[in-house]
Chain A
Amino acid sequence: MTAFTQQAAELTPAGLDWLAEFNQRGRERWKVTPFPTRKTENWKYTSLQALADGSYLRWPQASGAELSEQVDAIQGLDACALIFVNGVFSESLSCNKLPDSVEVVRFSQANESQQQAILSKLGTIADSEKHLFAALNDSWLQEGVYLHVAKNAQVKTPIYIHHITTPEAQNFAVNQRLLVHLETSAEATVVEHFSSTEEAQNCFTNAVTELQLDANARLTHYHLHLEEENTLHIGGVHVNLDRDATLNSFMMSLGANLQRTDVVVHHRGEGAHCGLNGIYMPNHKHTVDFHTCIEHAVPNCTTHEVFRGIIGDHGKAVFNGRIHIHEDAQKTVADLSNKNLLTSHNAEVDTKPELEIYADDVKCSHGATIAQLEEKALYYLQSRGVDRERAEIMLSFGFINELLEQLAHIPVRDYLTPLVSELFEKKFDRARAAA
């Protein structure tokens, strides 16, 4: 056992009695799983050295979890917000009126029947035997959000879960958990937003999201890693899709010390659809790693997955996209595309799309590209008077913006678009200053 494994196992949550057994099971799994090295297939390109070396293994001492300043949240979303500061729920920043037909409970506040409901689902979607950090999350679990939408309920108001870390407490671990259950034919939107208030902020976040979509349920999901660059974030989004359920999920990682996201989607009922899009833009010395795995276990399901990244400076991106079509999953339609732009000679991308097909009547495609900007398009812009640097910025932005344009919620798009264009503007200013 490595020192880190040992120390992490010794860090125990303040604890909820009814989760004690669950915590214990997670701890056992964590302890018996070897800590990943570069020889571990799933971690081949991403080093955990920064995590092992950093002294993150303590809980934040943030008694004052209230933020005095205005929170940088997605404006105009007209959402029901649940805001956590350094892992602690903030009563004053959160909304207190829930939409009808929605039940949102924090684990620490759950009554007995809610505890039962939580325990019946918790850990059944995220497999902590296969996902080491889910096991660690299980063992550390003391607070989380349970979101439940009743049968046939159409919830128009997005549920906005915003995790903020602040520099008031440095070098600590934040353990986050979200469990969503949409009953049959229910519809909802969930926005998960991770941010930090200051550049100097550093902590290790371990976040696990479990999404259960019953038959014919529809979920629009956003998973936004917008933390400052000194942070470490390892997390997973695990989904079960029952018959005719539809998930549309958008993921974004702007880049930080380490941002690793495992996405696992199980098509468990016929007619289910998974739309999964993502963008990542590591620069400086950032590492962004997406491992996605879509399991087609039954016939007639569809997956449409598009990830795009721009990697600059000494940044590094890892993309591993697996689509696994089981023997019975006839008539599957699945496509996966991963395109990358490298804007510096020192940038690195390791991309690996994996299509594993055991059924014989399916329609699948996958592709990964690493490209430079299109010369023809640059020329076109220049021929209109736009200088080369600006043209490069415009095209890079367009490459990412194509996916932002597809977002269903305009306020989310309006919030994210300037974040992306600012990154390019900064680059443009640097290029101009250098020239």
Chain B
Amino acid sequence: MLSVKELRASVGDKEILKGLSLEVKAGEVHAIMGPNGSGKSTLGHVLAGRENYEAIGGSVEFDGKNLLDMDTEERAREGLFLAFQYPVEIPGVSNMEFLKTAVDAVREHRGQEPIDSVQFMKLAREKCKAVNLDDQFLKRGVNEGFSGGEKKRNELMQMMLLEPKLCIMDETDSGLDIDALQVVAEGVNAMRNEDRAIVLVTHYQRLLDFIKPDFVHVLSGGRIIKSGDHSLALELEEKGYGWITKEVA
């Protein structure tokens, strides 16, 4: 589904990704771990198409198409979803309006009619419940005054409504208490299926106790320096990142 080959990318003048390769197939869950500053968040934004996050080398194919050629919104409509580490607050735009506009944009791309408002309201309430958010949040401004945990759950709710093929979750677990983490994990697990791939970008092994990955990769210095199964994450937890960067060097 996602094929990243020797990807090099810069933010402004600074090269952050230095030849990163990653193969993700439908149905798989990948975890990308790494120390601060290794390029984890950059990877998410380059894939999602953020301005100033520029690919300067390598290739990225998404479902056989050149992802790097697409506009940000086109990537989303094709089924790529990035759950933000720091979701943006947009006062004055209701969460409900935002969600419906997004869902309709994706539906239009798939050749579907806009969703009926009443039906959407029902669906949105259902998803609120699934991520344990009061449905009053639908009426509030997008992420406006939400706590950290509420913002992350709102990201998850968007993911559920948009039903993407590829979910990239950028440190969705950071700053969550264990109860909130479980809610998020349950939501992600419920979305796991053979047609969908999930990439968890995380700093902490803890998340992987709740969402078992098929593959674990270590990102350091803008490249994936080691890949393995879940046991690699446990090893990282125990020993930190130091040994591995040394081993590779």
Please give the residue numbers on chain A whose beta carbons come within 8 Å of chain B beta carbons, in ascending order. Answer: 374-377, 379-388, 390, 394-395, 397-402, 405
Interface size class of B (residues with CB under 8 A): 20 to 34
Provide the bound-state CA to CA distance between A383 and B84, in Å. Answer: 10
Which residues of the partner chain B approach A386 to less than 8 Å between Cβ atoms?
A: 73, 101-102, 105
Provide the bound-state CA to CA distance between A317 and B243, in Å. Answer: 62
Provide the bound-state CA to CA distance between A268 and B98, in Å. Answer: 45
Most A CB within 10 A of own CB, among B93, B102, B162: B93
Looking at the assembled complex, report how far the CB atom of B154 sits from the nearest CB atom of chain A, in whole angstroms.
Answer: 11
Which residues of the partner chain A approach B49 to less than 8 Å between Cβ atoms?
A: 382-383
B109: interface (CB < 8 Å): yes
Please give the residue numbers on chain B whose beta carbons come within 8 Å of chain A beta carbons, in ascending order. Answer: 48-51, 71-73, 75-77, 81-82, 84, 87-88, 90-93, 97-98, 101-102, 105-106, 109, 141, 158, 162
**Given A382-B76, A383-B72, A384-B76, are A394 and B91 neighbors across the interface (CB < 8 Å)?**
no
Q: Closest chain B residue to A383 by CB distance? A: B48
Listed by A's residue number, 10 A-B pairs whose Cβ atoms lie within 8 Å are A375-B51, A376-B88, A382-B76, A383-B49, A383-B84, A384-B98, A384-B102, A386-B102, A387-B71, A398-B93
Determine if B93 and A383 form an interchain contact, defined as CB atoms under 8 angstroms apart.
no
Provide the bound-state CA to CA distance between A386 and B106, in Å. Answer: 8
Looking at the assembled complex, report how far the CB atom of B161 sits from the nearest CB atom of chain A, in whole angstroms.
Answer: 9
Which residues of the partner chain B approach A384 to less than 8 Å between Cβ atoms?
A: 76, 98, 102, 105, 158, 162
**Given A379-B72, A384-B162, A385-B106, are A395 and B90 neighbors across the interface (CB < 8 Å)?**
yes
Looking at the assembled complex, report how far the CB atom of A334 sits from the nearest CB atom of chain B, in whole angstroms.
Answer: 23
Determine if B109 and A385 form an interchain contact, defined as CB atoms under 8 angstroms apart.
yes
Determine if B51 and A381 form an interchain contact, defined as CB atoms under 8 angstroms apart.
no
Determine if A377 and B88 form an interchain contact, defined as CB atoms under 8 angstroms apart.
yes
Looking at the assembled complex, report how far the CB atom of A216 sits from the nearest CB atom of chain B, in whole angstroms.
Answer: 32
Q: Closest chain B residue to A382 by CB distance? A: B72
Which residues of the partner chain B approach A385 to less than 8 Å between Cβ atoms?
A: 73, 76-77, 102, 105-106, 109, 162
Most B CB within 10 A of own CB, among A384, A390, A401: A384
Provide the bound-state CA to CA distance between A388 and B71, in Å. Answer: 10
Provide the bound-state CA to CA distance between A401 and B109, in Å. Answer: 29
Determine if B92 and A401 form an interchain contact, defined as CB atoms under 8 angstroms apart.
yes
Closest 5 pairs between A and B when the two form their complex, measured CB to CB: A398-B92, A385-B76, A398-B93, A402-B92, A384-B102
Which residues of the partner chain B approach A402 to less than 8 Å between Cβ atoms?
A: 91-92, 141
Provide the bound-state CA to CA distance between A275 and B31, in Å. Answer: 52
